[in-house]
Amino acid sequence: VENVRLLDRLSSRKAALGTLYLTATHVIFVENGSETRKETWVLHSQISSIEKQATTATGCPLLIRCKNFQVIQLVIPQERDCHDVYISLIRLTRPVKYEELYCFSFNPKLDKEEREQGWKLVDLKEEYNRMGIPNNHWQISDVNRDYGVCDSYPTEVYVPKSATAHIIVGSSKFRSRRRFPALSYYCKDNNASICRSSQPLSGFSARCLEDEQMLQAIRKANPESDFIYVVDTRPKLNAMANRAAGKGYENEDNYSNIKFQFIGIENIHVMRNSLQKMLEVCELKSPSMSDFLWGLENSGWLKHIKAIMDAGIFIAKAVAEEGVSVLVHCSDGWDRTAQVCSVASLLLDPYYRTMKGFMVLIEKDWVSFGHKFNHRYGNLDGDPKEISPVMDQFIECVWQLMQQFPCAFEFNERFLIHIQHHIYSCQFGNFLCNSQKERRELKIQERTYSLWAHLWKNRADYLNPLYRSAHSQTQGTLSPQMAPCNFLYKFWSGMYNRFEKGLHPRQSVTDYLMAVKEETQQLEEELEVLGERLANLQKSQLNDNKVKSKQQDRSRQLGLSMSNNSLANTPQEYSSDLKSFPSRSPSQGDEEDSALILTQDNLKSSDPDLSANSDQESGVEDLSCRSSSAGGCLPSEDSGKDSDEAVFLAV
């Protein structure tokens, strides 16, 4: 469709005229104008809603909201075209078969072996070995091979040694969806563990001997301690209501040596509505400070984030400080339980705060234990009531922790944002389906690629420059403020207003430090080379031989290449680099220059997350602006102006 206008949300005066293309996988908007053929790519799987608004004199507006919080406003001149686009998009964004998803057509041009290597990057067996398991108290159980006991659990489950197959199966029959207690995290130092399950089918009075034995076995696996905590992450009222349906929670009287604890985290429906409300606030055209703060409070979002954190902190404290094992469950044990177990693990074990460890953590607590990715993130057309930002909340918890402990994580904010993007993108196979069983049936590993390999390849872009493995914050347990320090929880504009660059700090400390560190590394190398040459030279001077002329040649070359490097760090060059920070997508790393003439091919191979959006524009704008304004006025000035002008005047 031609002559479509892409509106800028902050300023209605700034609209781009261009052509809209629909492909099998993307919506593409290409701006007119020969120099700045700026492209905006949006994956169909990212689109969460399409809204056709009332036709106006200028055309028919179409509003596209994305799951990665991008909002695109288009105006299509012909009502009929708009309708066609709308109908097509509705169909395209609601695939009914997994095979329609992008990951089955996505080809990063890796051979088979590389693909297999990629899937092997994260190995859970290795991870349990790292924790020190199997050992005297814990073993791997094959009771769930062929998914015979629980179809949403992995085939390999870790359980206490004293829990026989009989006990496990018996316990599983007493738990929702047969999700029996299994090991999530084990603390080598004091034998305390975190186990997870679903709610017991206790109703008002039912009990199950095997389930009681199971919990007893978990306690015995931690010989030092004479009780375990059972943490129900639901609000007490919800848990009680479940009893009427024959479900519920453990009765302390029936189980020997448990301490039962409610930690109220709301259910997926409350969370979905909360996010919805917060996004409405983010979308306000020019909100006053009161509108914004009031809306943020009203959405309850940060309150929910804090509830999840508090639960994680409680468990981490029980394990690290009291040396007591914890069994965590909610209703089905695949949403809140996953959030809480992974937050607690992250606090407890510095390994999960590394890039590799974080991948392992997600693979362990989310992917393998059957978090329902397909339902929660609406990959296939399904029940909208199943959709909920469960993982988004976990990712935000990590970000909130990063704010409090700036040196504790090996990865940076961008890493989190990219993971969030790919939970929805369906570009990689990792987060497909609702369980390991479904993924195996679909032969995901043979037909799609692993996100972890992709992220790992570009890890240089995701490093936190402040991370140092010897630093005190990277050691041991993190203990965040347990006191009700509400002010520690902040709105994450980097995520929820991700595509509105105008709102973010214009200079990134992270990128600056990363550039400095890169330069430092080059300097270290050069220092070594220079040192060697100096030594050689001194020797040769003594011997007075004639190798010199050759060396001088080399030295000139080296000097030159170095001066290029140092040039890359002069302020002007740097600030333009800063400007285009968001467009520095991992996959573009070494093709920065070609970023302007992105063809479809290299777009597809690169991370669509970043190439797919207006990020490109910053790079383009830079150049055009620099050439037009004949010096003096550099990029950051202009981009700042355009978006803000509207703001100042509007107020």
Partner 1 sequence: MEFAELIKTPRADNVVLHRPFYLAVEGTLCLTGHHLIFSSRRQDNAEELWLLHSNIDSIEKRFMGSLGTVIIKCKDLRIIQLDIPGMEECLNIASSIEALSTLDSVTLMYPFFYRPMFEIVEDGWRCFLPDQEFELLSSVTDEWRLSYINKEFSVCPSYPPVVVVPKCIDDEALRKVAMFRHGSRFPVLSYYHKKNGMVMMRSSQPLTGTNGRRCKEDEKLINATLRPGKRGYIIDTRSLNVAQQARAKGGGFEQEAHYPQWRRIHKCIERFNILQESLIKLVEACNDQSHNMDRWLSKLEASNWLTHIKEILTAACLAAQCIDREGASVLVHGTEGTDSTLQVTSLAQIILDPRCRTICGFESLVVREWLQAGHPFQQRCAQSAYSNSKQKWEAPVFLLFLDCVWQILRQFPCSFEFNEQFLIMLFEHAYASQFGTFLGNNENERSKLKLPTKTMSLWSWVNRSEELSKFQNPLFEANSLVIWPSVAPQSLQLWEGVFLRWNRPSKFLDEAHEEMINIIKYNKELQAKVNALRRQLAEMETDDRVQENL
Task: Give me the least distance between CB of 403 and partner 1, in Å please.
Answer: 9
CB 434, CB 89: distance < 8 Å:
no
CB 210, CB 217: distance < 8 Å:
no
Query: Does 323 contact partner 1 by CB under 8 A?
Result: no
Instruction: List the x/- string, 391-430, binding to partner 1 by CB under 8 A.
Output: -------------xxxxx----------------------
Instruction: Scan residues 466-485 and list those touching partner 1 (CB under 8 A).
Output: 466, 468, 471-473, 481, 483-485
Instruction: Give the nearer residue to partner 1 in terms of CB position, either 10 or 215.
Output: 10
Cα separation values, 506 from 223, 501, 514, 579, Å? 55, 8, 16, 7
CA atoms within 13 A on the CB side of 406: 4
Query: Does 264 contact partner 1 by CB under 8 A?
Result: no
Catalytic residue check, 426 = no
CA angle 207, 210, 214 (to 5 degrees): 110
CB 200, CB 333: distance < 8 Å:
no
Query: Does 235 contact partner 1 by CB under 8 A?
Result: no
Query: Does 649 contact partner 1 by CB under 8 A?
Result: yes
19: Cβ contacts below 8 Å, ≥ 6 apart: 1, 2, 3, 4, 29, 30, 32
- Which of 187, 330, 341, 433 is catalytic? The answer is 330
How far is the C-alpha of 53 from the C-alpha of 62, rounded, in Å?
A: 6
Query: Does 526 contact partner 1 by CB under 8 A?
Result: yes
Among 140, 293, 482, 567, binds partner 1 (CB under 8 A): 293
CA angle 102, 113, 142 (to 5 degrees): 85
Beta bridge partners of 463: 411
Beta bridge partners of 197: 329
Among 475, 559, 560, 629, binds partner 1 (CB under 8 A): 559
Coil, helix or strand for 324? coil
Query: Does 306 contact partner 1 by CB under 8 A?
Result: yes
Among 1, 530, 568, 596, binds partner 1 (CB under 8 A): 530
Task: Give me the least distance between CB of 522 and partner 1, in Å please.
Answer: 9
Instruction: Give the nearer residue to partner 1 in terms of CB position, either 90 or 634.
Output: 634
Task: Give me the least distance between CB of 600 and partner 1, in Å please.
Answer: 33
Helix, strand, coil share of the chain (percent; to 5): 55, 10, 35
Instruction: Give the nearer residue to partner 1 in terms of CB position, either 281 or 433.
Output: 281
Query: Does 490 contact partner 1 by CB under 8 A?
Result: yes
Instruction: Give the nearer residue to partner 1 in terms of CB position, either 32 or 624.
Output: 624
Instruction: Scan residues 576-595 and list those touching partner 1 (CB under 8 A).
Output: 578
Q: Which residues are known binding-site members for substrate?
A: 267-268, 330-336
Instruction: Give the nearer residue to partner 1 in terms of CB position, either 335 or 500.
Output: 500
How far is the C-alpha of 649 from the C-alpha of 336, rounded, in Å?
A: 45
Among 512, 592, 602, 626, binds partner 1 (CB under 8 A): 512
Among the residue ranges 53-61, 126-134, 314-322, 462-470, the one whose residues contact partner 1 (CB under 8 A): 462-470
Task: Give me the least distance between CB of 599 and partner 1, in Å please.
Answer: 33
Binding residues for partner 1, total number by CB under 8 A:
90
Among 145, 531, 560, 600, binds partner 1 (CB under 8 A): 531
Among 71, 523, 596, 623, binds partner 1 (CB under 8 A): 523
Among the residue ranges 15-23, 152-160, 320-328, 489-497, the one whose residues contact partner 1 (CB under 8 A): 489-497
Query: Does 643 contact partner 1 by CB under 8 A?
Result: yes
266: Cβ contacts below 8 Å, ≥ 6 apart: 235, 274, 304, 307
Instruction: Give the nearer residue to partner 1 in terms of CB position, either 193 or 412.
Output: 412
Q: Is the torsion defined by CA of 156, 161, 166, 171 positive or negative?
A: negative
Give me 651's structure tokens.
Answer: 């107020």
Query: Does 77 contact partner 1 by CB under 8 A?
Result: no
Instruction: Give the nearer residue to partner 1 in terms of CB position, either 41 or 314.
Output: 314
How far is the C-alpha of 160 from the C-alpha of 193, rounded, in Å?
A: 10
Instruction: Give the nearer residue to partner 1 in terms of CB position, either 2 or 528.
Output: 528
Among 552, 594, 600, 629, binds partner 1 (CB under 8 A): 552
How far is the C-alpha of 298 from the C-alpha of 118, rounded, in Å?
A: 43
308: Cβ contacts below 8 Å, ≥ 6 apart: 265, 336, 339, 340, 343, 393, 394, 397
Give me 173's structure tokens.
Answer: 């029959």
Which residues are marked as active site?
330
